[in-house]
Amino acid sequence: MKLLILAAKSMVAAAAMLALPGLASAHEWAWGGKLDLTRGVANVEGAGGGGLATWALITGNETTDGVGGELSATYVSLPDYTARVFGGGVGLFDRAEITVAEASFDTGATGAKLGLGKGFTFDQTIVGAKVRLFGDAVYDQDRWLPQVSAGAQYKVNDQRTIVRAVGADDSQGVDYYVAATKILLDQSLVLDATVRATRANQFGFLGFGGDKNGGYTAQFEGSAAYLLTSKLALGGEYRSKPDNLGFAREDAAFDLFAAYAVTHAVSVTAAYVDLGDIATFRKQRGVYLSLQAGF
């Protein structure tokens, strides 16, 4: 695990250095140029990808000749909880992205049952950075090599006292990941596999580390989508998560989604999502809705 974290850190630093010459030498920035949906959408942490998984694709509609970006709003409705995520990101020359997201996990009436008070909310700020190391998911159609990116996400939870009371070690932490994404245009397929080194409990809403396990573990994220048209994709995702807290089991998450490009700039995603058990409340299955605007 230490090797995975060190490798991700090294690759992020190295690729960032590769991106800098493009920034310095660009005399004119071009706007737009990507095919519909090939920037991905904004995931639950604000990074470019699917709804649950982070992909190797870089956010924004820019190509290697310019800059781009994206704004997103996401809402998840579950039987006992709701979550909202508002994010934004900048893509640089299709080489690197920087994202910021504000996420809220609202316990609603469940908060009273947990002894927290009705409508108690866990808020989290997530700052991410991702760099493309090699490959091109779209334009390397004659090669088997996928696009590979490495990144990190720094997460800060505002409920330090509460998350420590339920057994978490920290209220802030950093995730590291390496993602590989391939778009097979002839087969109308999008495939992704990501390995994440993390200590986050329920994406970080319940802190980091815990009484069962305090260290990093390697978790898997996978996505597969079929492009019915150039504007509509149907697919599914799976994301494993650590099980660090003794008071409540944490399950893997999965979804079935549809993503539609309303225009070249605006896309919407709707999904059925299953997050498993959350804080002793079972079968948290519901609806995921997200709106993205890219340039």
Q: How many domains does the chain have?
A: 1
State whether residue 100 is helix, strand or coil.
Answer: strand
**32 Rama class: left (phi>0) / alpha (psi -120 to 50) / beta:** left
Tell me the CA end-to-end span of the chain in Å, nearest whole number: 37
218: which 2 tokens? 């390697």
Task: Quote the CA–CA distance of 62 and 60 in Å, as a whole number.
Answer: 6
Q: What is the pTM of this model?
A: 0.86
27: which 2 tokens? 């005399």
279: which 2 tokens? 């804080």
Element (H, E) at 11: helix 2-25
* DSSP conformation letters of 263-281: SSSEEEEEEEEE---BTTB
265: which 2 tokens? 């700039």
Contact 210, 229 (CB under 8 A): no
Contact 174, 156 (CB under 8 A): no
Q: Which residue has the tokens 């896309």?
A: 267
Identity (one letter) of the amino acid at 50? G
Cβ of 176: how many Cβ atoms within 10 Å? 23
Beta bridge partners of 272: 256, 287
Any idea what the CATH number is for the domain that residue 242 is in?
2.40.160.40
Element (H, E) at 17: helix 2-25
Task: Determine the structural domain holding residue 221 and report its residue range.
Answer: 2-294
Write phi, then psi, for 146 (nearest 5 degrees): -80, 170
Question: Which one-letter DSSP state was computed for residue 295?
Answer: -
285 contacts: CB under 8 Å, gap ≥ 6: 78, 79, 272, 273, 274, 275
Question: Which one-letter DSSP state was computed for residue 216?
Answer: -
Tens of pLDDT along the chain (295 residues) come to 555 455 444 544 444 444 444 444 444 555 556 666 677 788 889 888 888 999 999 988 777 788 888 999 999 999 999 999 999 999 999 999 999 999 999 999 888 888 888 889 999 999 999 999 999 988 888 788 999 999 999 999 999 999 999 999 999 999 999 999 999 989 999 999 999 999 999 999 999 999 999 999 999 999 999 999 989 999 999 999 999 999 989 999 999 999 999 988 899 999 999 999 999 899 999 999 999 998 8
Distances (CA, A) of 146 to 53, 140, 228, 265: 16, 8, 21, 25
